[in-house]
Structure 1
Amino acid sequence: MDDRRLEITMGNLLRIGVLVAAGLVTIGALIYLAQHFNDHTSFRSFTEESADLRTVGGIVKLAARMDSRGLIQLGLLLLIATPVARVVFAVVGFALERDKLYVLVSCIVLAVLIVSLLHAT
Structure 2
Amino acid sequence: MEKNKKVTDYDMQQLIGQVLRFGVLTSGIVAIIGGIWYLFQSGSGVPDYRVFNGEPAGYTSLTGIIKGLKEGSAKEIIQLGVVILIATPILRIVFSLFSFILEKDKLYVVISSIVLLIILFSMFAGLKV
TM-score (norm 2): 0.84
User: Any unmatched runs of 5+ in structure 1?
Assistant: none
Structure ranking higher in helix proportion = 1
Alignment partner of 2:66: what SS? helix
**For residue 50 of structure 1, what is the aligned residue in structure 2?**
56
In structure 1, C-alpha distance between the alignment counterparts of 2:71 and 2:99, rounded to whole Å: 36
In structure 1, C-alpha distance between the alignment counterparts of 2:95 and 2:78, rounded to whole Å: 25
Q: Which of the residues 4, 8, 33 maps onto 1:2?
A: 8
In structure 2, C-alpha distance between the alignment counterparts of 1:27 and 1:7, rounded to whole Å: 30
Q: Which of the residues 24, 47, 60 maps onto 2:66?
A: 60
Aligned residues: 121
**For residue 24 of structure 2, what is the aligned residue in structure 1?**
18
1:50, distance to aligned residue in structure 2 (A): 2.6
The 1:33–1:48 alpha-carbon spacing in structure 2 relative to 1, beyond 3 Å, is same
Alignment partner of 1:38: what SS? coil
Which contiguous aligned blocks of 4+ residues in structure 1 show a shift greater than 6 angstroms? none
Q: Which of the residues 66, 88, 94 maps onto 1:88?
A: 94
Residue type matched to 1:83 in 2? P
TM-score (norm 1): 0.89
User: Any unmatched runs of 5+ in structure 2?
Assistant: 1-6
In structure 1, C-alpha distance between the alignment counterparts of 2:54 and 2:91, rounded to whole Å: 30
Alignment partner of 2:104: what SS? coil
Q: Could you say what the CA RMSD is over the residues aligned between the two structures, in angstroms?
A: 1.8
Q: For residues 24-66 of structure 1, give each alpha carbon's deviation from its aligned partner in whole angstroms, at most 9, with x where no partner exists.
A: 1000001111221211111111122332222101212222443
